[in-house]
Amino acid sequence: MKKLRWVIGGLVAIVALAMLFRGPISTSLMRRFAARAMSADPIAELPDGIHVVLCGAGSPLPDPARSGPCVGIVAGGKLFVVDVGSGASRNMQRMGLPTGQLAAVFLTHFHSDHIDGLGELSLQRWVGGTHAEPLRLIGPSGVDEVAAGFERAYRIDSTYRVAHHGEAIAPPGGFGFDPRPFQSPAPDTGLIVWDQDGLVVTAFRVDHDPVEPAVGYRFDYAGRSVVISGDTKKSPVIERIAKGADLLVHEALAPHLVEIITEAAVQAGRSARAKITRDIVDYHTSPVEAAQTAEAAGVGHLLFYHIVPPLLLPGMEAAFVQGVSDAYSGDFTVGTDGTRVSLPGASDAIEVSGG
């Protein structure tokens, strides 16, 4: 008993000292972490292949585990992003995706939740990488209008950056975007929109009516392949484009869960909210439908993103994927911010982590 009292007393003393010196301790730790962060090159440390990170796995509905839609792709030592929802830039930095090294952004369509993080990301990339050339922004027709709008909104801010940091750090020519619009592909064909250093990116048309244009993308590099659906109804085009792909990153909305929200809105007399939640069901894909597409295409892994509704309560994820295992014989993951899938080159390995 006496020995126990000594142990407890020692622990109390240690805790008291830690509390007393927590400022110096935290400062020392900060120095260590800052030095490590500044010297790290997380992209160079990755093996050759394709690496996918969900920098946003959610939708416009608030979800603490899922920000606005954003898919980070590392291939051939270069960083790309598909869509830039709110919170994307900060998530990327937290996840070790250096925004200053961003090579290009691909947009699937122009719904606000897929573009509202563009302004912040472009500034972080510009000043964080001292770029003298604007950020390449690739998307279907209309992407130049989106680029012009963000440039106008952030123009005044850009002058502050140049004045404060100087042109060596914030070269004026690096502000803004270099928009590269392409015509929406024919319904049953793909269109190559990037072909450099072994990476081929193919755009394909999806059905998100009345949103037009709307596309998805397939990334091929080092014998590995990733398909990103964008927002869409269940589509035979995705099934064809994703044939044999290693990874299908597919949006998913669970109608039976959204219906609960609709019923609650009706009961509360919120007719406008009920109309919206009824409407969104008809231009998205259910988890089971996405699973059916993955099975028909024979993909190696299915990753759900753009999750609707938010999965806020225990057990909701199980309800969300109800029936998925019956429709798809492969492995699947319900994405959260930070979910990672690595596809090493010259391999058939599919490594899922994070989230």
Active centre residues (catalytic): 113
List of E strands, 107-242: 135-140, 177-182, 190-196, 199-205, 215-221, 224-228
Say how far residue 88 (Cα) sits from the centre of its chain.
7
How many helices (H) and strands (E) the chain has is answered by 12, 15
Nearest residue to 56 via CA among 305, 311, 248, 354: 305
Residue identified by tokens 């450099």 is: 196
Q: How far apart are CA 119 and CA 135, in angstroms?
A: 11
Strand order in the sheet with 224-228: 190-196, 199-205, 215-221, 224-228, 247-253, 301-308, 331-334
- Can you list the alpha helix ranges (DSSP code H) found in 214-330? 236-241, 255-267, 271-279, 287-297, 316-320, 324-327
Identify residue 355 by its one-letter amino acid code.
Answer: G
